[in-house]
């Protein structure tokens, strides 16, 4: 009888531990999976009169960049711009982030 109770206790302990570990695993997936993903996209824009790289950065930059200078550096690299001069009527490719998957 004691062996029977001991075996039953071990089985109950095993089942309880398994359920607890499964519950912890599921909750951790939901917590991590609950964070919305951001997607990086690129957009072609026409340079308007009065536009500067700084004003374009203010419009399209998100807090995914550490600074406006970092954003401008990426825009200049993507568009093969060596200095900061841009010309009205030309086009620039600018990066932006969105929570929506396009």
Count of other CB atoms within 10 angstroms of residue 92: 19
User: pLDDT per residue over 15-47, tens digit each?
Assistant: 555 655 565 665 555 444 556 788 999 999 999
User: pLDDT per residue over 52-101, tens digit each?
Assistant: 999 999 999 988 999 999 999 999 999 999 999 999 999 999 999 988 88
Q: Does the pLDDT at position 51 exceed 80? A: yes
Helix (H, G, I), strand (E, B) or coil at 61: coil
Phi, psi of 60, rounded to the nearest 5 degrees? -105, -15
Q: CA dist 49 to 36, 56, 57, 72, Å?
A: 37, 12, 15, 18
Tell me the sheet residues that pair with 42. 95
Strands 39-46, 91-98: pairing kind: antiparallel
């Amino acid at each position: 009888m004691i062996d029977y109770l001991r075996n039953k206790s071990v089985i109950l302990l095993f089942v309880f531990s398994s359920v607890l570990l499964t519950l912890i695993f599921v909750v951790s997936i939901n917590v991590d999976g609950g964070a919305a993903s951001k997607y990086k996209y690129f957009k072609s824009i026409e340079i308007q009169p009065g536009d500067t790289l700084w004003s374009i950065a203010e419009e399209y930059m998100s807090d995914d960049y550490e600074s406006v200078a970092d954003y401008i550096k990426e825009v200049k690299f993507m568009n093969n711009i060596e200095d900061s001069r841009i010309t009205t009527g030309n086009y620039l490719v600018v990066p932006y982030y969105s929570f929506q998957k396009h």
